[in-house]
Amino acid sequence: MSTVDFSISEIYDLSYKTMISNGCDEPNASALSDIISRAERDGSHSHGLFRVPGYVKALRSGKVNGKAKPEITKKTSVVVHVNGNGCFAPLAQAVGLPELSQIALETGIAALSLTNIHHFAALWPETEFLADRGLVGIACTAYMPTVAPAGSSEKLFGTNPISFAWPRPGKNPVCFDMATSSMALGDLQIAARDGKKVPLGTGLDSKGEETTNPADIVAGVLLPFGGYKGSAIALMVELLAAGLTGEQFSFEAKLNDNADGGPPRGGEMILAFSPEKIAGPGWEDHVEGFMSKLEGLDGVRIPGERRHKNRLNKGLRSINSTLIKTIRELS
Amino acid sequence: MSTVDFSISEIYDLSYKTMISNGCDEPNASALSDIISRAERDGSHSHGLFRVPGYVKALRSGKVNGKAKPEITKKTSVVVHVNGNGCFAPLAQAVGLPELSQIALETGIAALSLTNIHHFAALWPETEFLADRGLVGIACTAYMPTVAPAGSSEKLFGTNPISFAWPRPGKNPVCFDMATSSMALGDLQIAARDGKKVPLGTGLDSKGEETTNPADIVAGVLLPFGGYKGSAIALMVELLAAGLTGEQFSFEAKLNDNADGGPPRGGEMILAFSPEKIAGPGWEDHVEGFMSKLEGLDGVRIPGERRHKNRLNKGLRSINSTLIKTIRELS
């Protein structure tokens, strides 16, 4: 695969220029470019520049409003709501997360629901925002129907990612961010693009048969991770992201989407908890005792550590040349 | 297997008499017998009378105080704490859940942390309590180290169950309650007792090798469900149940346990969310639209429906004769 070397700020600039050229105002373009450049910084390629053509499609079709001004309201003393007014998710998060964290630091627990947004990014930026402020974060969103509930071969669930971050003052948080499908759609698409095979059990082809060809699964259906237990987690995410926010379920998102290839309208649920308020003082040492046990086990990887290690590298990133060419042609 | 027929109230009475004979006062004995008889009613055999000998061991050793009086306090306006003072979990839940649900109905989100309790039961009684009041419930607890994190063959996580319930006014809630291990320890113990095999991948024997013999896994180590993704969920549960409550992690529970065979001291985290406050009016119809899609798929089972179907049967339950004999000898 031919690649081009880009610095993190060059990635940001390419993204920013592309968004501005396609109708975004400064707040929308910068919120989006920040998320894209941080994804590339951390090695989350499937949520970085790879997403830019899809973002542009959604702007050009008019599905997403690149000049949207999200509105924040408090539904109760501990429930914050941001109506994105049709923006991409990162701007709505930038508007809602500071308020969410301020409340949770005082009350111990708070919720942020996002509606009328278009989510096409990773979820760890939200949960790590909270962990950086000493809070536990949980975030989840639904997407287009791409996953068959356990026992079925019909798409109903989105890839329904869930992210969880636990704060470790002075250290990187424990942070996982994973699709509840056997594989993230972005990773499946990248595997298809690169002509790689995927493990049996990842999904079914359009005839409902098992296959190792990612392109056939893109045309067919993904399966949840971990059988019926993973399917239960996927159902929980769908109910929290759509039922609890009041936004579209995955199947509704598809029904109402214009099929431009960009992200459909959806919701996101973000929860924040303060260990200082709930467990009380001393929680850090208590948890570090456990973490040292976990870190001491052979063969165990702490969720998030690969991204956090990538983050330390301030140097250039190798980006797929074809992707760069495609993006440059969008301005 | 030889069985004896018992009515639900006879199951309650046998449990109650056994607990009173072993030092429980009325509130402790009735809270525990209620949970045990409801487990048998719903067909959750591994959390019913099967647990009684273990409960008695913990009372006889003095580890659990059968006359404990749980104390309820509010840590913040939306965080309730119950110190069980060494009781079995059901009494602490009975003290805390009404307050939790009242707050969540007003504020949209609230948390209940339980500490200094001994949890040996299912988690669906807690989450269904919330769902019966129109709330979404999430509950999780840790246990003794019985599960190796993905990549390792050393025990660190408990079986770390998580339960989730979604309210469906006029219908039974969607409710799952599952160990984040490949199998619940209770089910594994029952499989071992009944001489059954379990699927490969359930766990490792004491040499770290895969096996289908449940007794060898009881002596060895369970694995998480769903590989590294399930392991991440198990880690989240451990951090919420112990890190966020401030109670013992699974490994601490073992270090400080008297090995009497009863449940160790631990914590439980219970969360409640109001769809009425967060999503707003009309949420029921919105979610039922999704549920009708899910219920319409071939091969899909709605989480909880087997228990709810069992619950409709008001008749006699067939209980293992040896177990009944064992329990009767405890009074």
Beta bridge partners of B3: B320
For residue range B71-117, list pLDDT tens digits in order.
999 999 999 999 999 999 999 999 999 999 999 999 999 999 999 99
- Rounded to whole angstroms, the Cα distance separating A62 from A23 reads 10
pLDDT exceeds 80 at position B186: no
Burial tier of A82 (Cβ tally within 10 Å: 0-12, 13-18, 19+): buried
Phi then psi for residue B266, to 5 deg, are: -160, -175
Q: Nearest 10 degrees: CA dihedral of A177, A179, A180, A184?
A: -150
Q: Touching check for B154 and chain A: CB below 8 Å? A: yes
- For residue B267, the chain A residue with the least C-alpha distance is A279
Q: Measured between CB atoms, does A328 come within 8 Å of chain B?
A: no
pLDDT bin (cut points 50, 70, 90) of residue B46 is confident
Q: Is B255 part of a structural domain of the chain?
A: yes
Q: Does A161 fall in a domain?
A: yes
Q: Which is catalytic among the residues A7, A34, A46, A61?
A: A46
Question: Which CATH number does the domain housing residue B294 bear?
Answer: 3.30.1370.60
Q: What is the pLDDT of residues A253-273, one digit of tens each?
A: 999 999 999 999 999 999 999
Residue A328 has pLDDT above 80, yes or no: yes
pLDDT at A263: 95
Task: Please indicate, yes or no, if residue B81 is contained in any of the structural domains.
Answer: yes
Cβ within 8 Å, pair A79-B277: yes
Whole-prediction pTM: 0.96
Interface test with B, best of A300, A305, A306, A307 (most B CBs within 10 A): A300
With an 8 Å Cβ cutoff, is B144 touching chain A? no
Q: Is B150 an 8 Å CB contact of chain A?
A: yes
Q: Say if the Cβ atoms of B299 and A151 lie within 8 Å.
A: yes
Instruction: Break chain B down into helix, strand, coil percent, rounded to 5.
Output: 45, 20, 35
Candidate from A107, A242, A252 with C-beta closest to B77: A107
pLDDT category of residue B58 using cuts at 50, 70 and 90: very high
Q: Among A308, A309, A319, A304, which Cα is nearest to A13's?
A: A319
User: Hey, which bits of chain B come out as E strands?
Assistant: 3-6, 71-76, 79-88, 109-118, 136-141, 162-166, 174-178, 203-204, 221-222, 266-273, 317-320
CB contact under 8 A, B79 and A111: no
With CB atoms and an 8 Å threshold, state whether A166 touches B243. Answer: yes
In the set B81, B118, B177, B187, the catalytic residue is B187
Q: Which pLDDT tens digit goes with each residue over B128-184?
A: 999 999 999 999 999 899 999 998 999 999 999 999 999 999 999 999 999 999 988
Tell me the C-alpha distance between B327 and A137, whole Å: 44
Confidence band of B212 (pLDDT split at 50, 70, 90): very high
Q: Are A327 and A8 in contact (CB under 8 A)?
A: no
Q: Are A127 and A139 in contact (CB under 8 A)?
A: yes
- State the Cα–Cα distance between residues B88 and B318, nearest whole angstrom: 26
| Owning domain of residue B84 | 69-181+223-303
The pLDDT of residue A185 is 78
Residue B108 φ/ψ region, left for φ over 0, alpha for ψ in the -120 to 50 degree band, beta for the rest: left
Annotated active-site residue in B37, B44, B47, B177: B47
Which residues in A123-223 belong to E strands, given as ranges? 136-141, 162-166, 174-178, 203-204, 221-222
Interchain CB distance below 8 Å, A297 and B229: no
Predicted pLDDT of residue A229? 96
Domain-embedded: residue A207: no
Residue A329 in this model has a pLDDT that exceeds 90: yes
Question: How far apart are alpha carbons A301 and A315 in whole angstroms?
Answer: 24
Contact A136, A191 (CB under 8 A): no
Round the average pLDDT of chain A to a whole number and report it: 96
Instruction: Clarify whether B205 is annotated catalytic.
Output: no
Q: Give domain status of residue A84, yes or no.
A: yes
B47: annotated active-site residue: yes
Residue A273: how many CB atoms within 10 A of its CB? 26
Q: What pLDDT is attached to residue A46?
A: 85
Tell whether B199 lies on the interface with A, counting CB pairs under 8 A: no
Question: Are the C-beta atoms of residues B52 and B88 closer than 8 Å to each other?
Answer: no
Could B227 and A230 be called an inter-chain contact, meaning their C-beta atoms sit closer than 8 Å?
no
Does A186 have pLDDT greater than 80? no
pLDDT at A40: 97
User: Which of these, A267, A272, A249, lies nearest to A165 by C-alpha position?
Assistant: A272
What integer best gives the mean pLDDT of chain B?
Answer: 96
Check residue A290 and give its pLDDT.
98
How many CB pairs below 8 A link A and B?
Answer: 217
CB contact under 8 A, B108 and A76: yes
Tell me if B76 and A277 make a contact (CB, 8 A cut-off): yes
Determine the residue of chain A that is closest to B111 in CA distance.
Answer: A109
Contact B278 A110 (CB under 8 A): no
Nearest to B79 among A108, A239, A242 (CB): A108
H or E element in which residue A250 lies: helix A250-255
Please give the pLDDT value at position B189.
Answer: 86
Beta bridge partners of B69: none
Q: Look at the block and give the residue holding tokens 């610095």.
A: A7
| Pick among A229, A239, A240, A294 to test the B interface (most B CBs inside 10 A) | A229
The answer to whether residue B40 scores a pLDDT higher than 80 is yes
Domain contains B234 = yes
Q: What is the reported pLDDT for B39?
A: 97
Contact A151 B278 (CB under 8 A): no
Residue B174 in any domain: the answer is: yes
Q: Which residues does chain A have within 8 Å of residue B156's beta carbon, measured at their own beta carbons?
A: 293-294, 297
User: Two tokens at B40?
Assistant: 């048998």
**How would residue B29 be classed by pLDDT, with cut points 50, 70 and 90?**
very high
**pLDDT-based confidence at B255, cuts 50/70/90?**
very high
Question: A64 pLDDT band (50/70/90 cuts)?
Answer: very high
pLDDT at position A243 is 98
In a domain, A33, yes or no: no
**Does B297 contact A232 at a Cβ distance shorter than 8 Å?**
no
Nearest CA in chain B to A282: B246
Closest Cα in chain B, distance from residue A151 (Å): 5
Active site residue B177: no
pLDDT of residue A200: 81
Q: Is A238 on the interface with B (CB under 8 A)?
A: yes
Q: Give the model's confidence band at B187: pLDDT under 50 very low, under 70 low, under 90 confident, else very high.
A: confident
The domain total for chain B is 1
The Cα angle at residue A77 between residues A280 and B130, in degrees rounded to 5: 75
Which of A108, A149, A178 is facing B300, going by the closest CB pair? Answer: A149
Partners of B254 on chain A (C-beta within 8 Å) are none
